[in-house]
Homo-oligomer: A and B are copies of this chain.
Amino acid sequence: MTQNKLGVRIKALRTEKMLTLDQLAAASGSSKSYIWELENKNPPRPSAEKLADIGKALGVTADYLIGSDDQTRTEAEDIAFFRQYSGLPDDTRKVLRDMAESLAKMGRK
């Protein structure tokens, strides 16, 4: 059973978040059959749009899912997080910045 990197990554993230094919499909605007094909069929060549939508639903970048560059999963999550953060309203961003400040102090100990 030869697996492709993209499929492995999607499946890992999906199962980790305890999502079914149907749930991820709904969250990303795809069909469950197609999600399954991405995870199991080789070699998949999804559109950038689809992959970005799926990445968004999983909290990572499309670039990480393709694995074309050497973006680590942590980086992908951080970048995806920063994008989400950037899109939040001003006051919500401030709440997060304050929380970060507090957490930073705690960690400094």
Tell me the A residues contacting B by CB distance below 8 Å.
45-53, 55-56, 59, 61-63, 65-66, 68-69, 72, 74, 77-79, 81-90, 92-93, 95-97, 99-101, 103-104, 107
Contact = CB atoms under 8 A, between A and B. Distances in A.
Nearest to A87: B69
Copies of this chain assembled into the complex: 2
Contacts of A81: 85, 93, 96-97, 100
6 A-B pairs with the lowest CB-CB distances in the bound complex, closest first:
A52-B68, A48-B51, A48-B48, A45-B47, A81-B97, A61-B63
Contact of A63 (B63, B84, B93): B63
User: Residue among A59, A93, A100 with the most chain B CB within 10 A?
Assistant: A100
